[in-house]
Amino acid sequence: MQGPDRARHANRLRWKQANCVGCGRWHDIGPDSSLCDCAKQENLSVSCDLQPATRAALLASVEDNAQSLWRYAPLLPVDRAFGTRLGVGWTPLYDFGDYRGTRFFLKDEARNPSGSLKDRASEAVVAVAAAHGVTDVIVASTGNAAASLACIGAAAGIKVTVLVPRTIPGAKLTQIMAHGASIYRVDGSYDDAYALARTVSLAKGLYNRSTGLNPFTREGKKTCAFEIAEQLGWQAPDWVIVPTGDGNILSGIWKGFHELVALDLLSSMPRLVAAQSAASDLITRRFDPEWARHANNPPHHTIADSITVAQPRDLTAALAALSASRGTAVAVDDDEIVAATRMMASRFGVFCEPSSAAGFAAFERLRERGVIAPQDRVVCLSTGTGLKDLRAVPAPDNLPVISPDAWQEISIGGDRQ
């Protein structure tokens, strides 16, 4: 951690213990992101005190009805006073009623300030940073986490440095720059950017928000599970479908539901689905090879660039979440992703980016094969807005242009499915 006189900032974390997601060993934690020193150098999972007093504090906090993830402050790492005013979280859960025989819900994470679920993680990490006087944060990202940290960091007055692959979509680049972050496009993959960010953070003592390294990203993301449960009247759905790259949203969603069960606020867990791109499907191959399309392929080109990762940084916890929830993993092709993007936009009014639409494509496949049964209650996470990445639905150059008085040429209808 750089800059501040750390002695002036006591450890302000609400919870001071974490265990390694691989070997299980307990660690004392501070605000710094650190890995276990076990053979696999796995990441740490924060241990919250899940006693009746925490349950009472949580219910009282929910009663206060903050319109953000801070409504769950008693289960977040630091006091809500360290959060921003941007209103991260408390996104809508749309109930679309009967769809393909299921009771179908979409959780619209595009409503977050920077347009993706990543804001939950950034808000938690930035609050931890602010509580400890950290002035600079670095992140490696496929795009959304960088845009998110740039946005939340700006609101908190924290300087942000981002490392992204050179192929990042233009709108995300613009967004990062508009928020005033320092941006480095790495001539390589997300995995290369990740390694570089780690080297820089260690060499320069910078606080690192990178997914699957910083334990507080999972703490932010788990609030999405809290919201789903609360919005369903403190009930779990049968399935939650999670677009998956590093697997950190997946492990966060599992942790969130698990904490609610431990607090006796839920009586069951949902089954989780990791929805991956067939071009980047290591979690699927490891969990359920039957659903993977290709054996042993390194990631290759896909329209779902946000979930393209060779070495998922939260692999162990993601696989554990799938096993513990009796879930499954599915890899979908780009043509299914494009069809899903169009369907979500034209059937439900939710325009998401291709990586997000992988979740809906996985739903279609699982429903078709009968894995998701009629009457099942399904929540599909729509993790990011389509406005940042238009490649799935480019407007054609040759759209007809008509004269202002050509009313006879106008036929009513559209491309709705």
Ligand X SMILES: Cc1ncc(COP(=O)(O)O)c(C=O)c1O
- Site for ligand X contains 211 (CB under 6 A): yes
Q: How far is the CB of 306 from ligand X (least distance, A)?
A: 3
Closest distance between ligand X and the C-beta of residue 224, in Å?
Answer: 11
Single residue of 248, 302, 316, 325 touching ligand X by CB under 6 A: 248
Q: Does 307 engage in binding with ligand X (CB under 6 A)?
A: yes
Q: Which stretch binds ligand X (CB under 6 A): 31-39, 81-89, 140-148, 364-372?
A: 140-148
In whole angstroms, how close is the CB of 304 to ligand X at the nearest point?
8
Decide whether 145 or 269 has the Cβ nearer to ligand X: 145
Is position 33 an interface residue for ligand X (rule: CB under 6 A)?
no
The site that binds ligand X (CB under 6 A) totals a number of residues, namely: 21
Q: At residue 177, what are phi and psi to the nearest 5 degrees?
A: -70, -40
Q: Which of 43, 144, 210, 328 binds ligand X (CB under 6 A)?
A: 144
- Residue 27: enclosing H or E segment and its boundaries? strand 26-28
Alpha helices in 157-299 (DSSP H): 170-178, 190-204, 215-231, 248-262, 282-287
User: Quick one: which H or E segment has residue 358?
Assistant: helix 354-368
Q: Which is nearer to ligand X, 127 or 250 (CB)?
A: 250
Exactly one of 89, 113, 153, 247 binds ligand X (CB under 6 A); which one?
247
Two tokens at 25?
């060993």
Task: Check binding of 78 to ligand X (CB under 6 A).
Answer: no
Quick check: 384 binds ligand X (CB under 6 A)?
Answer: yes
Task: Report the 10 Å Cβ neighbour count for 167.
Answer: 14
Q: How far, in Å, CA of 92 to CA of 113, rounded? A: 13
- Number of residues in the chain: 417
Compute CA distances 156 → 131, 214, 363, whole Å: 11, 18, 37
Q: What is the dihedral of CA 417, 368, 234, 74, to 10 degrees?
A: -90
According to the binding rule CB under 6 A, does residue 186 interact with ligand X?
Answer: no
- Enter the tokens of residue 254: 């599992």
**Residue number with CB closer to ligand X (127 or 241):** 241
Q: How far is the CB of 400 from ligand X (least distance, A)?
A: 34
CA distances from 173 to 163, 239, 316, 415 (A): 11, 34, 31, 31
User: Of 163, 168, 193, 249, which lies in the binding site for ligand X, with binding defined by CB under 6 A?
Assistant: 249
Q: Which residue in this structure is represented by tokens 């940073």?
A: 129
Q: Is 113 an interacting residue with respect to ligand X (CB under 6 A)? A: no
Number of CB atoms found within 10 A of residue 342's CB:
17
User: Which residues would be at the binding site for ligand X (CB under 6 A)?
Assistant: 116, 118, 142, 144-145, 211, 243-250, 306-307, 353, 355-356, 383-384
